[in-house]
Structure 1
């Protein structure tokens, strides 16, 4: 597990009627020193006007590959249900090459029912979607090994979620990064369960980078206090989300300064 703390931003692709606003935001994020820029994989806004402006995930990531130079980037997270796993592997490999090896493949089982019904995907159940995710991760691994040319690096796989019976088992088997939405006590409990799943597949749990969402904090002091507490538990990737059309990065600037002060 890496010891250096990294700062991520999720640029939620909603309520931005002009893509130029998102392009400006990802460039500003890179300029202030953010390590990773994420978007998300939905078709409609998740907050505010449910029919507000919105853009698609992977075509945007292809643009980010050319519009940025240093930062890593990817979906937080792509929905396994929306694309054939072999196609998704090929898409990620292609964006990896366009960017010179900076894409992260964040993936989850999906949950937003409107996406499914409006776009014609079978919603199923939470259990069936998680089972499909496990099958897809195997297929993605297999396809990555067959692609010509191969990826420029082993593309990091980020799995989001904290389901103790299935999701954390998928994390143990496939993930390079585990992304969670937790407080400190919940993180400790779920990390112990993840360690049990890792033991079952003979994997060192310290090989999986730990990522946490900085959300629901009232002010920057609360954000930084939580950042101190959760990184003390071994979490090394912290992500803060902002929405359009303004994409206010002031909190990210404080987080980058906090990161740099830690490093001395």
Structure 2
């Protein structure tokens, strides 16, 4: 079986930066790269999203700098960066720096933000879902423009991954700016949203077949994954969280990846 547009099927693993000492996270990064995972992600929050509310937790971008040095093959990034926390030009410069440190393996995953505790405790204005999405749409052209001005520039056009599935605003931003679109869609929902994305693409003058589709594997089996593959998904993600990272599920999905691309 081949994927749509001959894109390779890829497995991305999100290592949640919670409930584990950093030494454990670092060892898991090494294990996963050795196993053959294609992409490693963390997330951009300040507190755990599950388990002990005030449990161990680490910041995203500084961790990604360590991963850029530690790894040599995998692509990596945040699933996803929160646009609200940082000036757009600063985000661009940090992304370019990670791209350079890693030799061109950084993926700029970004989104509008949603976890109110992050905003309240760190002093950011939470606003509304609409204002946060609008801010993301305003930031992305600034970010890409800043990439063109930096010295040295990025080593490659840094891939922009946008997470979210809102049909009126988020998918329009995806159509305008994304190289990768990430969601948690079931096959039925993905089919519906692909059509909505296509219409947004027509409205903004973009062939959205250029956009790679990424979908979460949580709770899925191989049959469902093959349905998602048939609908155009070629990046499949799964998550690990501390205190112990059980990589058995990663081995399973790597075996599936290899079976559908052989």
State the TM-score bracket (shorter-chain normalisation). over 0.9
Distance 1:259 1:175 in 2: 24
Determine the structure 2 residue equivalent to 1:147.
Answer: 150
Determine the structure 1 residue equivalent to 2:27.
Answer: 24
Distance 1:141 1:263 in 2: 33
Tell me how far 1:223 sits from its aligned partner.
2.5
SS at match of 2:233: coil
Distance 1:26 1:95 in 2: 16
Tell me how far 1:26 sits from its aligned partner.
0.8
- Segments of structure 1 that go 5 or more residues without pairing to the other structure are none
Q: Is the 8 A contact 1:88 1:140 kept in 2?
A: yes
Determine the structure 1 residue equivalent to 2:48.
Answer: 45
Tell me how far 1:37 sits from its aligned partner.
0.3
Determine the structure 1 residue equivalent to 2:173.
Answer: 170
Tell me how far 1:262 sits from its aligned partner.
1.6
Q: Is the 8 A contact 1:2 1:209 kept in 2?
A: no
Distance 2:15 2:6 in 1: 24
Determine the structure 1 residue equivalent to 2:19.
Answer: 15
SS at match of 1:104: strand
Distance 2:204 2:14 in 1: 31
**Greater than 4 Å deviation, 4+ residue runs:** none
SS at match of 2:246: coil
Residue 92 in 1 paired to residue 75 in 2? no
Determine the structure 1 residue equivalent to 2:8.
Answer: 4
Tell me how far 1:261 sits from its aligned partner.
1.6
- Segments of structure 2 that go 5 or more residues without pairing to the other structure are none
Determine the structure 1 residue equivalent to 2:260.
Answer: 262
Distance 2:238 2:86 in 1: 27
SS at match of 1:51: coil
Q: Residue deviations 1:136-175, cap 9 Å, x none?
A: 0111011111111000000000000000111001000100
Tell me how far 1:225 sits from its aligned partner.
2.2
Determine the structure 2 residue equivalent to 1:65.
Answer: 68
- 1:1-264 alignment to 2 at 5 Å? 1-16=5-20, 18-215=21-218, 217=219, 222-264=220-262
Q: Residue deviations 1:36-81, cap 9 Å, x none?
A: 0000000000000010000000000000001111000000000000
- Aligned-pair Cα RMSD in Å: 0.8
TM-score by length of structure 1 reads: 0.96
SS at match of 1:24: helix
Q: Residue deviations 1:172-205, cap 9 Å, x none?
A: 0100000011101100111100001111121111
TM-score by length of structure 2 reads: 0.97
Q: Residue deviations 1:189-234, cap 9 Å, x none?
A: 111000011111211111000000111x1xxxx4322211111111
Distance 2:117 2:188 in 1: 32
**Aligned pairs, number:** 258
